[in-house]
Structures are given as structure tokens and as C-alpha cells.
Chains A and B, each alone.
Chain A
Amino acid sequence: MAAGVSNLHGETSYRYRKFKSDSMMAITVGATILTLIPLFLVLGYLLTKGVASLNWAFFTHMPAPVGEAGGGMANAIVGTLEVVGIACLIGVPIGVGAGLYLAANRASQFTNWVRFSADVLMGVPSIVVGIFAYAVIVRPFGGFSTLAGSVALAAIMIPLVTRTTEEMVLLVPPELREASLALGVPHWRTTLSVVARTALSGITTGVILAVARVSGETAPLLFTAFGNRFWSTSLFHPINTLTVQVYTYAISPFADWQRQAWAGALVLTGIILALELGVRWVTGGAAKAPR
């Protein structure tokens, strides 16, 4: 050990520094493990509980009437995809657009207000967003609906997507923007094809995180999409979603329903995982590009 440097009177200090380095390394590795333990416990528990109740019927059948065993969550699976999908159609363009705007106009009073409101909105409990959607959509339009659920989820997504988009765009070196403008590329084209394109992998990550977040929301859907024991894909009628179905089944007194709630939770997690992997695969080129 430390051959060659033994006479340089730095040996004790070297040992001390090595000790400090090793201890810090041990602490950070320990913290990482502690962070991962709950994740694996949750996933593991979910798998052991959920897999047992999963069968083909779960994906293809409708919920069984009370008292009857079996049945599935086909309508809830489709419903979750529909509600979240429409929420993305509403939320992603608005969020990305607002984020680009914020990044392009840093200094104005107006953008400061927008940024501040987005930050406040991110902290608003999701149930409050649900009540808001109930008041502005469900009540005036006379009933629970898919659209109301999607609007509630979009309202949760927008501030998240806006702020991540802004942060990611600000990471793009300003020189790139200038280089594009100097080629005679118009401002709007520069913003879209160079700045936003360079920030794309970051923006995509932000969108995925927002989608994952809203896919797991239950509270705002209780007042808006409501839930439905029957098949419906209409925008203007109540629709079933996995989260609401899991919630209903989990607090029910029936063992069969509780088992299905575990399966539903597992499927929901699987959908989110598949979504993340899918988007990463699609934007693979962008995600791998240097910085």
C-alpha cells in the first residue's frame, strides 16, 4: 500500500482522506439501498398478491355483479387508457407550449406570474383539483364524464410539464439558438427545431413522469369520471378507471373483490412501466444524443 509515497509525509493524511472517502461512499451507498428497499418491497408485495389473482378473464371480462365470483376489469383498463390519453392530448401541448414560452421570455413580469402560479398549482392537493373540475365541468354539463376526468388530470399535468419543459429548454446552450438564427432560420423554427428538439429527451422524461403521476390519481376521478360498472367509452358518460375500481374493491368486504384490487394495482403499475419503456424506446435516438 502507498509504496513510493511513504516518505512524502503525506501518508497519514492520505490514509485519513482515503478513510473519509470510503466512509462517504459507504453512507451514499447505504442511502441508495435504503431508498430502493421500499420500492422493491412494494413491487414484490404487489407481485405476490397480484399475480395470483391475474387471469385472462381479468383483462377481458366486465366486473361481476355483487355476490357473483369472477369477472374482470376490462372496462377499467380501457377507461384508464382513455382518460389518461385524453388528459395528455389536453395537457401536453398546453404544458410544453407554456414551458417554451416561459423559457423564451425569462424576464417579463407576466412570465414570473405564470411561473409562480405553476409552482403553486403543483402543490395543490389532487382532490382539490377534482373538486375544481367538478365545479367547472361536471355541474355545468350535468353529469360525470370521461372528459371531466381528463380535464382534472390535465390540470394536474400542465404545471408539471410546463416547469420541466422550461427547465430543460434553459439547459440548451444559448449558442445553439444563435447559431440557428445566424443561418437565417426564423425565430419560431429555431425554437421548435433546434431548441425544443435539443431539449426533447428531457421534455419527454418530464411528460412521462407527469403521465405516471396522473395515471395513479384516484381522488380527482371520484368527482369527475366517477366510475362505471358497465362498458362505456363515451366522452360524455361516466367511465371506469383502474384506480377508482381498485379503491372500490379494496375497501369492499368481499375477499374476491379484494384479490381483484391487488390484480388491478399490479396491472396499473404494469401499464405505467410499459408506457415509460415505450416512450423511451420511441425517443431512443433523442435520449442517447450527447447532452
Chain B
Amino acid sequence: MGDGRGGESAKVAMAEKLVVKNLNAYFHKNRALHDVSLSFEQDRIAAIIGPSGCGKSTLVRCLNRMHEVVPGATATGEVLLDGNNIYADGVDPVQVRRRIGMVFQKPTPFPTMSIEDNVAAGLTLNGVQISHAERHEVIERSLRQAALWEEVKDRLRRPGGSLSGGQQQRLCVARALAVQPEVLLMDEPCSALDPISTARIEELLLELKSAYTIVIVTHNMQQAARCSDMTAFMYTGDLVEYGETKQIFTNPTRRETEDYITGRFG
């Protein structure tokens, strides 16, 4: 199902950026993901939908090894980033997270830092030595990418917490982009935002798509339908169906997917 047939351009072959193979995730003895296998392609947006507690967040958190940060959480299986298993022995989760960025449900600007320090946080906290000019360049580029530059350029030294919720979330996107990740994971980035801010983030996703592989978890099916190329439907820890968004929403192959999408449950 869903084999690169749509696509806005006739790329020779969609590069598989991130490949998940037989991923199982646990919280202590509780299995939260059952043998999930799927792949995310370069320059496309994949949405993960499903009812609460189905394992959407757990899945994305496994993709940059954030899952194991929670005490008692473990994962087995493989996640290949450009063909290299990020769960292989000797792989440093810190290095993985520098290549796979993440934006969370709630905006989380660092409250002790100014707007510009928040954007540069990924560099400064990692001890990256850059000149003043370079630093400014990174800040401006990241904020522009996150469509926030025009709104904050005159108050870069104000605290990050002084922005509105939607602006804070875009600040978090800018912060994630500043370290130049290859993949961007978004865990329900709009659930705490009003419709206008949500629309801004969605526009942003479409702009960023050409440069990043994006995986977005969402509660909102319209959002998945609006901005994703591929959609995965999850239910009780299983990946039920994964395919082109258009196909998932118009002609799902699985009964559960159809029931969920038509609002019969969830």
C-alpha cells in the first residue's frame, strides 16, 4: 500500500531517511508498541494519528531515543537513520538527538534565557564555539525558518517566556532547527495552540518539508489530512495502517482505520 505513487515531483526514488524495524517499546513490563515497522522518507511529512494511549508519542520518542529518558522505559528493535541503527551498541543517544530534533506538545522555552539565547541553546549548551557573527547568523536563519523573525527581531533579548503560546512554540521550532537536524519530530505541536497559531505551524511545516524529514504526531485528523504526505494510523500499540495520506483518508484498507477516521470511535 502507498508506494510513492502520488508525490508532488517525480523523484527517482524516495530516499528512506528513517526506517523502523520491529520496534517494541516497554514501560517496565508494559508493552506500549508491538512490532512496529515503517519508514519515513526524505523531504516528506508523515503524520501519526490514533486515539489517546495508542502509542503515537511513544513511537516518535523512540525515533530519537527520548523514550528511554523516562525511568523504566526500554525499547527493542531497530531504527535506521540513513541505514545506521541508532539502537546499535555503542551509539551515543546524545549524538542521535543532535541529528533528530524534537518539538513537544507544550511550548518549552527555557525560562532563564532570552529569545536569542533560547534559539542558540542547542549550540551553547553543547559547547559549540562560534563567533559572534556566526551566532547571529544562526539565530536569524533559525527564526526566519520558524517564521518568527519578523515578530521578534526587535526584542531578541527579552525572555523567551514573554512571547505568546504560539510564538513560544515557533521559538521551540527555531531552537530545534538551530542545531541543523536532519529529521524533525513533532509530538502534538499544536494541541496547546489556538487555531490561528495552529495554522501558522502548519504553514511552517510545509515550508520546512523541502529540507527536513518531518514526523508529526497529531490528535487532529484534519491536521493530518491537511499537511501530511503519509499517514500512519495506530491503535493500542499496533501500527494498523500506513500509507499515502489521500489513500488513508479516502480509501483505507483496514476496518479500524475507517471506523476511526469516520468518527465511529476514538
Contact = CB atoms under 8 A, between A and B. Distances in A.
A290 interface: yes
B126 A184 contact: yes
B62 to A, nearest CB: 13
Contacts of B112: 197-198, 200, 286, 289
B179 interface: yes
Q: Which of A184, A194, A291 has the most C-beta atoms of chain B within 10 angstroms of its own C-beta?
A: A184
- Interface size bracket, A side: 20 to 34
Contacts of A179: 104, 108, 110, 172, 175
Interface string B91-132: 000111111011010101011100000000110011100000
B90 interface: no
Contacts of B159: 289-290
Interface string B60-96: 0000101001010000000000000000000000111
Interface stretch (A1-9, A148-156, A185-193, A207-215): A185-193
Contact of A198 (B102, B110, B162, B179): B110
Nearest to A108: B71
Given A178-B69, A179-B172, A289-B159, A185 B108 contact: no
A269 to B, nearest CB: 32
A181 B66 contact: yes
B125 A194 contact: yes
A9 B179 CA distance: 63
Q: Which of A107, A178, A189 has the most C-beta atoms of chain B within 10 angstroms of its own C-beta?
A: A178
A35 to B, nearest CB: 31
- Interface size bracket, B side: 20 to 34
A183 B121 contact: yes
A258 interface: no
A228 interface: no
B212 to A, nearest CB: 15
Contact of B125 (A178, A183, A198, A290): A183
Contacts of A200: 112
A182 B106 CA distance: 14
Given A175-B106, A183-B97, A184-B179, 10 more contacts: A181-B69, A181-B97, A183-B126, A184-B94, A185-B122, A189-B125, A200-B112, A289-B112, A289-B159, A291-B161
Interface of A: 107, 173, 175-176, 178-186, 189-190, 193-194, 197-198, 200, 286, 289-291
Closest CB pairs A-B (n = 3): A184-B98, A183-B122, A182-B102
30 contacts: A107-B71, A173-B108, A176-B111, A178-B69, A178-B104, A179-B104, A179-B108, A179-B172, A179-B175, A180-B125, A181-B97, A182-B101, A182-B102, A182-B104, A183-B97, A183-B98, A183-B121, A183-B176, A184-B122, A184-B126, A185-B94, A185-B122, A185-B126, A189-B127, A190-B125, A198-B110, A200-B112, A286-B112, A289-B112, A291-B111
